[in-house]
A = this chain, B = another copy of it.
Amino acid sequence: VNHEKPYEIKDITLATKGQKRIDWAQANMPITVAIGNAFQKTRPFENKHIAICLHVEAKTAVWLGALQKGGATISITGSPGTTQDDTAAALVQNYGVSVFTKNEETYDDHLAHCKSILSFAPDLIADNGADLHHLIYNDPALKPLSKTLLGATEETTTGANRLRDEVGCSDFPTLIINDTQAKRIVENRFGVGSSVVDGIMRATNILLHGKTAVVVGYGYCGSGVAQRLRGMGAHVVVVDNNPLTKLEAHLDGFIVADLETALQTATLCVTVTGHSDVLNAAHFSIMRDGIIVANAGHFASEINEPALDQLATKKQALREHITEYTLADSKKVFLLCNGNPVNLSAGDGNPIEVMDLGLALQAMSLARLAEGKGDLTNIPQCVPEDIENFVVTEALKYWAS
C-alpha cells in the first residue's frame, strides 16, 4: 500500500456526484447521524484505526462519517460489483477515508484489497461475510492482528455461520449484527416486504391489483412480502410446509394451498424460503401460461433456472430484468432478474431507514468493543441487549414523532 496516496479507486473526479448521493442518504439516516454527533463528544475511537469490509455505497459513507466524528481513522474495501465508484471518490476526497475498491474488480482484486486495509494495523474491524476474519485466522502474516485487535463486528448471517464453524480460532470478540431481533423485524419483515413489491413493479410495470400472487415461504420475509402484496390489492396465496404457520396465514385472511394447487391459479409466484430448488421442472410444467416468477430469497437457487432452461424451446431477454422462456406447449414463463433477489436486482435493495438502523447497531457495537471487552467473551455473539434497545429507542424517536 502506497501510504502517500492510500487509496485505490476508479476515478477521483467522480467525487461531486458521489457526495450528492451521500447527502440524500444522510438526510434519511437520523439515527446514525445522531450517534456521530454524540461520538464527537465521547470520542470512543480516538487514535484508533478501523478496517472495514462493507458495500461501498452512500449509506455506508454516512456511517463512516459518524465513526470519524468519534475519532476513527478508517480504511475500507467493498464487494465486487456493488461498489459505487462515485461514492468511493467522495469518501477519498471529502472524508479522507482510505478506500480500496472498484465496481469492476475480480475476487482476487478483492482479496488483495482486504489485505491492503489490514495493512493499516487496525484496532477494530467491521466485516461482511467473514472475509477479514478468515484472512486473520489463516494468513500467517496477518495472524498477529488477532492479538492486538480489540474486537470485530460481522454484518451477515452467512458470515456468522462461517465464524461459528471456526469457533476456538478467535482471540477477540465478534458481535453479529444480524442476530438481533430488531434487524429481523425491521429488515426482514418490513424492509424486504416493501422492497420486493418495489422490485416487481419496477421490473414489470404490471398492476398488482387482482393478480393471484403465490408467496412460497411464510417466515419473517415471506409474511412481510405477503402482507405488502395484499396491501397493493393482490389476491395472495401462501404456501408453506409448517402446519402452524399455514394455520396462522389462513386465519390472517390468506388463502393457503400446496404449491401444485396454488400454481393452477397463479399469475405471479414469489419464492422466499431460504431453500434451493423450490420451483423445479415439475412446477414449471404445470404453471399457467404467462406467469411471472421471481425470487426474494437470498440465493438465486430457490428457482431452478437450469431446469427451466432445459424445458424451454426458446429463451430471450425482453425488458431489462425479464427473461421469457417458451416451453414445448408454447406456454410462456417470465423469470425476473434471472432468479436473483428481485428487490436487490431490480430495485435499490433495502430502504435507507433499514440500513440506518443496521449501521447504528454497527456504530454502537464498535464503540463498545473500543471501550474494552467488558462482558464480552472471545467468540461470535449477538449485539449486547442494551445496544439493541438503545438503537430501537432511537429509531422510535426519529420514525414515530
Contacts and interface: CB of A to CB of B under 8 A. Distances in A.
Given A23-B324, A28-B206, A201-B347, 14 more contacts: A24-B319, A28-B290, A185-B248, A186-B251, A194-B201, A194-B208, A205-B347, A207-B251, A210-B250, A228-B231, A231-B231, A233-B253, A247-B395, A250-B396
Interface size of A as a range: 35 or more
Contacts of A185: 244, 247-248, 251
Contact of A243 (B206, B247, B250, B393): B393
Given A207-B191, A250-B400, A181 B244 contact: yes
B243 A389 contact: yes
Interface string A10-25: 0000000000110110
A332 B27 contact: yes
A298 interface: no
A340 to B, nearest CB: 18
A246 interface: yes
Interface stretch (A36-44, A349-357, A365-373): A349-357
A171 to B, nearest CB: 32
B233 A194 contact: yes
Interface in A173-213: 181-182, 185-186, 189-191, 194, 197-198, 201-202, 205-210
A230 interface: yes
A263 interface: no
A317 interface: yes
Given A182-B247, A247-B395, A393-B243, A233 B231 contact: yes
A382 interface: no
Contacts of A230: 231, 253
Contact of A353 (B181, B207, B252, B352): B207
Contact of A351 (B206, B324, B334): B206
Given A27-B334, A246-B400, A247-B186, A198 B202 contact: yes
Given A182-B244, A243-B389, A253 B197 contact: no
A320 to B, nearest CB: 10
A225 to B, nearest CB: 12
Contact of A194 (B181, B182, B232, B400): B232
A400 to B, nearest CB: 5
A396 B243 contact: yes
A235 interface: yes
A28 B290 CA distance: 8
A392 B233 contact: no
A348 interface: yes
Contacts of A181: 244
Contact of A209 (B244, B251, B318): B251
13 contacts: A24-B318, A24-B324, A28-B206, A28-B290, A182-B244, A185-B247, A186-B247, A198-B202, A210-B253, A228-B231, A233-B252, A247-B392, A247-B396
A352 B399 CA distance: 35
A316 interface: yes
In this complex, which of A251, A348, A351, A388 has the most chain B Cβ atoms within 10 angstroms of its Cβ? A251
A311 interface: no
A255 interface: yes
